[in-house]
Amino acid sequence: MKYLLSAACIVASVGIAAAEPTGTFRQAHELGFGGQSSLDPIAKGRVFQLTEKLMNRLVRPGLDGKPQPDLATSWTANEDATVWTFKLREGVTFHDGSAFDAGDVIYSLNRVLDPELDSPARSAVKMIKSVEQIDDLTVQITLDTPFADMPLQLMDYRLRMIAQDSGDSIASSGIGTGPFKLETFDPEGTSVLVANSDYWEGEPGVARMEVIGIPDGQARLQALLGGQLDMERGITAQQRVMLDGSNKFQVQEIATGNWQGLVFRTDVAPYDDPRVRKALRMVADRQGLINLVLGGGGVVACDSPVEPKDQYRAELSCDQDIEGAKALLAEAGHPDGLEIDVHVATLEPTWPTLAVAYQAQAAEAGIRVNVVQTPTDGYWSQVWMKKDIAATRWNERPADQALHEIYLSTAKWNESYFKDEAFDTMLADARRELDFDKRRQLYVDAQTHLWENAGTLIPYHVTRLVGVSARVSNLDNVKNDAVRWHLITVD
């Protein structure tokens, strides 16, 4: 069996940006790690709204979501998909003028794989055994197991290529091969990027980009309405009415695999009992939550992080079952129900609404939910993965990556502390299976296993509403990590 993608068959861009960059495009980031935020793409505090414009990947998602050449122009695999060969793009330079070549790929990937760096991106590519140079523009990646979907993993938004030996400086320098170069990095204020006139895909359409730290969702909306921002990718259905009535804005609707939910720590009583955590998930009326929280803009998810359009998505049934939840709680020793604290913040504007809606639904089964509002500052470092129950959200990932990164026993961001040997074995078997139908069934089985045992309530996948200033043109109507930022122009 052989896998081949030729760059000759794929056009990297459907348009060319303006000959002379003009104007400034402004957006926000959430200040997730405050002063500890970083430009290191593999660090937990990376500001992806900056790294996505500063750096490229080997493989990126196309407008259809499928793997497309970025810094790699083509790839092939051997018969058992354990050895992958990637051809690299010629004539690419970093922002400091140095040439991009195979040595940079080897360095970037080995850095992700380094256990001492403890990167959360490591789980996406830890099947890599070695990365070797064939010539200046060819690398060979050898895996420790057959894996037919390797290019999907390399689309990870964190797997950006950096220059060889730049690991000690990348957190502040941001030097990459992307369409914009760093002028100022201020994680708690305004970071400034300028157009990279030597960008291999064409000169960008805007001269500057400003990325501003605004942790509160309502404050970001007000900044958009007031003209301080040109785009906000977290508009709620309730907020949309404020934009629809004005000719100063447009709203993009983007079906995504992004999801929001509640995570229960499976290592803490009573959530260490799978009957309790299944009961807590069974009380959810998922379509009701979509209607209340998202204004109808979402797709029901049965506690699987795999997006609706993914080829490995399991079709599960998860209607609200109050009587079934009561029975499970009684069997687990809680005949009178439970009292639980759910921690949320306005970091994600829909979280408080989600928690209150869930509170009403859970009450039908005798589950008394206390909604605890916490500060937005420090939520990811002081609440998430710390409190017994907290609101959570994830951007979409290919099925294998999502299942590994969120639920594998050894995954760094296993937020529910889910430890399940049978589940781990299913994922390992799926990666080794070369027959598509058999591989798909293994992923489906893994998702079914999560429905029975997991500690995360995933009620829906989000239809993303993006508020955009009318002065902005050429912003791709696609998920964030597929946007071609160099094409954007502003009046």
CATH of the domain at 343: 3.10.105.10
335, 310, 277, 252: which is closest to 452 by C-alpha?
A: 277
pLDDT for 15 beyond 60: no
In angstroms, the CA 185 to CA 33 distance is: 14
Whether residue 191 is found in the same domain as residue 272? no
**What was the pLDDT predicted at 412?**
87
* Mean pLDDT confidence for 285-305: 94
In angstroms, the CA 448 to CA 403 distance is: 12
pLDDT for 36 beyond 90: no
Phi/psi for 204 (5° steps) reads -60, 160
Count Cβ atoms within 10 A of the Cβ of residue 107 and give its class: 0-12 exposed, 13-18 middle, 19 or more buried: middle
In angstroms, the CA 466 to CA 28 distance is: 12
Global pTM?
Answer: 0.78
Whether residue 193 is found in the same domain as residue 314? no
219, 199, 222, 196: which is closest to 209 by C-alpha?
A: 196
Residue 302 lies in a domain: yes
Number of domains in the chain: 2
Residue 230 lies in a domain: no
Residues 123/427, Cβ–Cβ less than 8 Å:
no
Residues 171/182, Cβ–Cβ less than 8 Å:
no
Whether residue 403 is found in the same domain as residue 334? yes
- Amino acid at site 29: H
Containing domain of residue 440, as a range? 256-464
CATH number at residue 176: 3.40.190.10
Whether residue 268 is found in the same domain as residue 207? no
Whether residue 450 is found in the same domain as residue 480? no
pLDDT for 200 beyond 50: yes
Residue 60 lies in a domain: yes
* Beta-bridge partners for 177: none
In angstroms, the CA 66 to CA 269 distance is: 42
In angstroms, the CA 178 to CA 426 distance is: 37
Whether residue 271 is found in the same domain as residue 206? no
Residue 381 lies in a domain: yes
Whether residue 299 is found in the same domain as residue 354? yes
pLDDT for 262 beyond 90: yes
Q: Quick: pLDDT tens for 65-92.
A: 889 999 999 999 999 999 999 999 999 9
Q: Quick: pLDDT tens for 309-358.
A: 899 999 999 999 999 999 999 999 999 999 999 999 998 989 999 999 99
| Average predicted confidence (pLDDT) for the chain | 93
Whether residue 427 is found in the same domain as residue 480? no
298, 299, 295: which is closest to 241 by C-alpha?
A: 295
pLDDT for 236 beyond 50: yes
Q: Is 264 left (phi over 0), alpha (psi -120 to 50) or beta?
A: beta
Residue 244 lies in a domain: no
Whether residue 151 is found in the same domain as residue 283? no
Residue 231 lies in a domain: no
Whether residue 413 is found in the same domain as residue 322? yes
Whether residue 86 is found in the same domain as residue 10? yes
**What was the pLDDT predicted at 451?**
97
Residue 228 lies in a domain: no
- Amino acid at site 18: A
Whether residue 477 is found in the same domain as residue 425? no
Residue 330 lies in a domain: yes
